[in-house]
Structure 1
Amino acid sequence: MKENGAIQLLLPFFTERDTQIRTGALRLVYTLTKDLQEELMEQIGYEHVHVVANVVSSLTSSECEKVAALGILSNLPVSDGKVTYILKNANLLPLMISILSLRTENSNSTPTTVWLAESIAAILVRFTVPTDKRLQHYSVENGVIPVLLKLLSRSSETAKRYSALCLTQLSQNSLSLSKSRKLKWFCMPPSVDAFCSVHDGYCSVKNTFCLVKAGAVIPLIRILEGTERGADEAVLSCLSTLLQDEIWENGCNFLARTSAVHAVIRVLTHGSLKSREKALWILERVFRVEAHREQYGESAQVLLIDLAQNGDPMLAPSVAKLLAQLELLQDQSSYF
């Protein structure tokens, strides 16, 4: 159907008067656009992005129409800045945040509400890209962070993954946005509560998108401690933003204080290859600190030795580095 131009044939029905026909067309286009990504704009065109955005914001659109329209928008390539411009101008961000805020307060979960949360979470990724700090500020001013935190606790694995990705993108800029405590303050200095021990400066949720000040770390850890593994990679990427080169030791100490290290070690047992890679990267930084090696080394070493002997060869260099840090690699041949 994709190859035969089905999408273009369905687009005119987005403005059909009959609700059932409109909804059917939107649902079918959503299904057809799931895996297109970069080629998608060639088939839909920017004029129909406007149309789909209007479906979401229209007071006369049914819930089914809105959910299908949001699904289509979630499939559009994040890298396309013109799409973001259209959605921003349509005032879609505050509307989506309002919808999610209401839905997350309601404990009833249905396939429709799950689809809705996943679609909006995916769209929020484009509003939090790290290359556009102005857009990030716009998103945060509209309340995106509280909604993302709710999604971490009350949504599907897919929505949690997108939520963690959004928080990762925001956190990537926290260090550059934080205010150094070494600066001279000509007006009133920030309060003691504003100081962030990780970024070694003054942080806030609204101005620096700080994970620590937002209280995001505990919900992220709970995902790693849970039974589902679909969001692990995104969660570990998010925690890794607290371990950037300039602040890695502060970040490691914070992760230790919040019991995150045990949760990261746990990923070595159950995680995917990419999740394990990210967990090993975090542990390499944690184990640079002698106190953390002493506290967590014993619980990690059995899993590391098992990974060395039975794990994916791609992980071998990282595992070897950690075993060396723990002084367990006197003879590499015994493990590899």
Structure 2
Amino acid sequence: MITIASMKPRLKSEEDEEVLNCLEQLEDLCVERDQHREWVILENYIPVLVQLLGEKNRDIRNRALVILYILAKDSDDAKERVANADNAIEFIVRSLGRRIGEGKLAVALLLELSKFTLVRDYIGKVQGCILLLVTMSGSDDSQAATDAQELLENLAFSDQNIIRMAKANYFKHLLQHLSTGPEDVKMIMVSTLAEMELTDHNKASLFEGGVLSPLLHLVSDSDLEMKKVAIKALRNLSSLPANGLQMIREGAVRALLDLLVRHISSSSGLREHVAATIMHLAESTVSQGSNPTPISLLESDEDALMLFSLISWTGPDVQQNILRIFYALCQSPSASNIKTKLTECSAVQVLAQLCEQENQNVRANAVKLFCCLVEGGDEATILEHVGQKCLETLLRIIQSSTDMVEIASAMGIISNLPENSQVTQWLLNAGALPVIVRILPNSKQIDPHNNWLVENAVGAICRFTVPTNLEWQKKAAEAGVIPIEFTEVESANTKTQGVLVLLCSTRNWLQDSWGVCTVESSFCLVEADAIRPLVRVLEDPDPRACEASLDALLTLIDAERLQSGGKVLAEANAIPSIIKFLSSSTPTLQEKALNALERIFRLPEFKQKYGPSAQMPLVDLTQRGNSSMKSLSARILAHLNVLHDQSSYF
């Protein structure tokens, strides 16, 4: 015992070799006899060993972890002493986030400590601990992975730990508690699913893990609040098309439709979530590939008629989702039947009235669906309900709306109206020609939907250039419809060529404007009112367009312009779109988004506002990205205080 007592001062030496030699001797003594371990504990070595976990020398940390494990094994007294040592668990968790050899020793020690209740209660609360354990549970090192999984099992006693695991992409215990837990625990778990920012990978994993069955069971629960939260969770999960199709296959639509009708007068907000969920299911039917037996959302014509009739009995939130449901169905394999049924139930008349709605979201979705029905629709029905007042309303929308899809759809309605002289004369009387002509030069730098807008505008103009009516031709010429303009417009007349022309012209402009960036040339984007159009391009399905736009926008936060440029991006609502690129299937977009967010999240106001929505995609990249993405994602998570900034695990 005298020998053991005399060694302690050597552990405080400034010479690493001296400390390592002492630790080696101490380890040998601990291994030799149980009594030696007791003496080491009585001589209060544990706090000293814990402090050594903060040393820069990795070998010293590893030796200290080994000895602490030997002391803690089968000794509640030692475990309690470790727990009481200053920052002990924090130091061990930091080691968990370092190289796999050190992490393996750290997880073994934490696993042993977790067998003592007082320590177990604290482990899951330490910053980054559960995320690191989840990551290690998938390690190539089988022992480290097994220990991490067993430790997660031990930590699953706490609902909060289960939520932390879910936020780190580990849903095993959440799913178990959702299926078999008591009602209050089920409420906690389903609320977590309802509120979490889930990546597509998360959503797919949850469905593979069997989340749908317990959620559908909870939808039929007698408790209204439980029912509402379960629907919110389904809404969150159903935005992934594969999940939506599975929900349809497993009979979710009938339950949702019944809820929508039953709660038509409810003010609980339930019907809004139900309608939004059905909308996701409708959207999932659009892209079914070459499925020989495509899945249909609605089982019968009666369902379609009943659902559309609800537009007249619901508020704006439900209305816009019902309109989006039918718009999606008009793009699905059942489009022909849906359009026929909508025409039969006087949908054209209803939609024409909704075009005058004050609520912009309802109006915009009504115009989009209206455009679908007019294209190739029954001419007699259209002419019955589209008069001069309706045409004037559409022209007002084209002139005043800020939604480019709505503008293009309104133009599409005009373009696809039956070739009828009365309709054309109404358009002339309403001043349509100058409105349409003004759209053409403006559309080239407005929005990624401009090709469709240009096509529709050209189609609308064509009705005024028929060779049999010289008066119309003269008015068209007076309005500025000259051959050279037609040549310009027609160069973008097919969708594929038009999009490419748009992308090329955009890229050329970017190259000309920002080839050499200075403060003045970058911020001329602001002066030119180009920010919001560029931000809208970030929503384009073509990754090339997104990348070109992102490159331009990110010049705003170069070097010393981070603070002012970040503010400009925030005001234009660009940061959420950049966060979405973390889940992109295009690696270059992911990397550019990561580099941008690493700078943006250095600013506290943006870290606080946008950090939570970026956390799950970043966690996903630390586990599934390439090595550089893992490292950069971990650095951003450190900015967000999810990981310790000294973690080198990734």
TM-score by length of structure 1 reads 0.70
Per the alignment, residue 122 of structure 1 pairs with 279
SS in 2 for 1:83: helix
1:304 Cα deviation (Å)? 2.6
SS in 2 for 1:210: helix
Per the alignment, residue 256 of structure 1 pairs with 386
Q: Distance in 2 between matches of 1:318 and 1:258?
A: 19
Q: What amino acid is aligned across from residue 31 of structure 1 in structure 2? A: E
Q: Aligned in 2, Cα 1:119/1:69: closer, same or farther, shift over 3 Å?
A: farther
Q: Distance in 2 between matches of 1:258 and 1:166?
A: 29
Q: Distance in 1 between matches of 2:308 and 2:199?
A: 26
Q: Distance in 2 between matches of 1:278 and 1:296?
A: 16
Q: Aligned in 2, Cα 1:82/1:101: closer, same or farther, shift over 3 Å?
A: closer
Structure showing greater relative contact order (alpha-carbon pairs closer than 8 Å, 6 or more residues apart): 1
1:220 aligns with 2:342: no
Per the alignment, residue 150 of structure 1 pairs with 310
1:83 Cα deviation (Å)? 3.4
Q: Distance in 2 between matches of 1:145 and 1:18?
A: 40
Q: Distance in 2 between matches of 1:99 and 1:27?
A: 19
Counterparts of residues 70-219 of structure 1 (less than 5 Å):
70-74=231-235, 75-76=237-238, 77-80=240-243, 81-86=245-250, 88=251, 92-104=252-264, 106=265, 109-110=267-268, 112-113=269-270, 115-122=272-279, 125=282, 135-136=296-297, 138-141=299-302, 143-151=303-311, 153-157=313-317, 159-170=318-329, 176-177=336-337, 210-219=341-350
TM-score by length of structure 2 reads 0.39
Question: What is the aligned-residue RMSD (CA, Å)?
Answer: 3.8
Per the alignment, residue 294 of structure 1 pairs with 425
Q: Aligned in 2, Cα 1:37/1:260: closer, same or farther, shift over 3 Å?
A: farther
Instruction: Judge conservation of contact 1:301–1:323 (CA < 8 Å) in 2.
Output: yes
Per the alignment, residue 195 of structure 2 pairs with 31
From 470, 473, 480, the equivalent of 1:329 is: 480
Q: Distance in 1 between matches of 2:417 and 2:309?
A: 25
1:220 Cα deviation (Å)? 2.5
1:272 aligns with 2:433: no
- 1:117-172 Cα deviation digits (max 9, x unpaired): 4444335526976976773551545x353133314651333x32331133235556
From 44, 68, 85, the equivalent of 2:229 is: 68
Q: What amino acid is aligned across from residue 238 of structure 1 in structure 2? A: L
Instruction: Judge conservation of contact 1:284–1:322 (CA < 8 Å) in 2.
Output: yes
Q: Distance in 1 between matches of 2:335 and 2:205?
A: 38
1:307 aligns with 2:307: no
Q: Distance in 2 between matches of 1:121 and 1:259?
A: 33
Percent of counterpart pairs with the same letter?
Answer: 11
SS in 2 for 1:50: helix
Q: Distance in 2 between matches of 1:115 and 1:137?
A: 19
SS in 1 for 2:299: helix
Q: Distance in 2 between matches of 1:8 and 1:303?
A: 58
Q: What amino acid is aligned across from residue 213 of structure 1 in structure 2? A: E
- 1:251-285 Cα deviation digits (max 9, x unpaired): 64244259644443332122501111122122112
1:234 Cα deviation (Å)? 3.4
Q: Aligned in 2, Cα 1:145/1:318: closer, same or farther, shift over 3 Å?
A: closer
Q: Distance in 2 between matches of 1:38 and 1:217?
A: 40
Q: What amino acid is aligned across from residue 304 of structure 1 in structure 2? A: I
Q: Aligned in 2, Cα 1:42/1:305: closer, same or farther, shift over 3 Å?
A: same
Per the alignment, residue 197 of structure 1 pairs with none
The size of the alignment, in residue pairs, is 294
Instruction: Judge conservation of contact 1:97–1:144 (CA < 8 Å) in 2.
Output: no
Q: What amino acid is aligned across from residue 71 of structure 1 in structure 2? A: K
Q: Aligned in 2, Cα 1:322/1:137: closer, same or farther, shift over 3 Å?
A: closer
Q: Distance in 1 between matches of 2:285 and 2:393?
A: 26
1:237 Cα deviation (Å)? 3.4
Q: Unpaired runs of 5+ in structure 1? A: 178-204
Q: Distance in 2 between matches of 1:258 and 1:153?
A: 27
Q: Unpaired runs of 5+ in structure 2? A: 1-163, 465-475, 489-650
1:20 aligns with 2:184: yes
